[in-house]
Amino acid sequence: MDQPSGRSFMQVLCEKYSPENFPYRRGPGMGVHVPATPQGSPMKDRLNLPSVLVLNSCGITCAGDEKEIAAFCAHVSELDLSDNKLEDWHEVSKIVSNVPQLEFLNLSSNPLNLSVLERTCAGSFSGVRKLVLNNSKASWETVHMILQELPDLEELFLCLNDYETVSCPSICCHSLKLLHITDNNLQDWTEIRKLGVMFPSLDTLVLANNHLNAIEEPDDSLARLFPNLRSISLHKSG
């Protein structure tokens, strides 16, 4: 059944993790139990949220009440918002800025290419260590802004974004250890080598399902270009 349009993050959260759908469980790591506010809050009597929230394919377009997000999500460390209808980075920022412990964020298959990511919004992502932007069609300008504002980013997923080229930022990212950039349209080794310049600490590079025919680099130069690389996937790359 199709989800109604214009649903907020808080609306979906209250529905999915209501006492009827997600019974209250006691014990360490089981979540947080917050009484409803008296001002007509949509929460019926309580919510019990785990630290890992999965809200994919829920028709989410906006954040909703930021105070309620802050009250219920202070302990949340992982958030899956894939396959929603988020197209405004400001709305994403409203959610993320109220989840202070967030380390993993999945924004795959949201039409975020329809808005521009500004520095003030990107700053709210600063604690994220693993970011998934698969099939978001995020531009390289957006990626550069994220890299500047996420000093602890270790894993980045940029699959299915129709990249034919790689654009280098002015400042390289030393924190990134793993990059998934599969299922794009990268063909020329001169574009791939830019990734070594951008991410000098890269440990794992996954290039599967691109159209790379050759690695045109002398062995000694390759070692200097990717000094920390331990694993590379060239599956179905040609």
19 Cβ neighbours under 8 A, 6+ residues apart: 44, 45, 46, 47, 48
Give the SS3 label for residue 48: strand
pLDDT of residue 43: 45
Give pTM, 2 decimals.
0.88
pLDDT recorded at residue 217: 85
For residue 178, which of 162, 209, 199 has the smallest C-alpha distance?
199
- Gap between the Cα atoms of 68 and 46, Å rounded: 12
Q: Cα dihedral angle (228, 233, 237, 238), rounded to 10 degrees?
A: 80
Task: Determine the Cα–Cα distance for residues 106 and 129; give it in Å rounded to an integer.
Answer: 11
Backbone φ, ψ for residue 20 (5° rounding): -70, -40
Q: How far apart are CA 210 and CA 208, in angstroms?
A: 6
Q: Is 120 helix (H, G, I), strand (E, B) or coil?
A: helix
Instruction: Extract the tokens encoding 182.
Output: 């599969």
pLDDT score at 98: 97
User: What are the residues whose beta carbons fall under 8 Å from the beta carbon of 68, sequence distance 6 or more?
Assistant: 10, 37, 41, 43
pLDDT of residue 41: 45
Residue 214 pLDDT: 87
Structural domains in the chain, sorted by start: 50-233 (3.80.10.10)
Q: Give the mean pLDDT per block of 10 residues along the chain (238 residues).
A: 70 86 52 45 59 96 96 95 97 97 98 94 96 97 95 97 94 96 95 95 96 86 93 90
Q: For residue 183, which of 212, 165, 162, 203 has the smallest C-alpha distance? A: 162
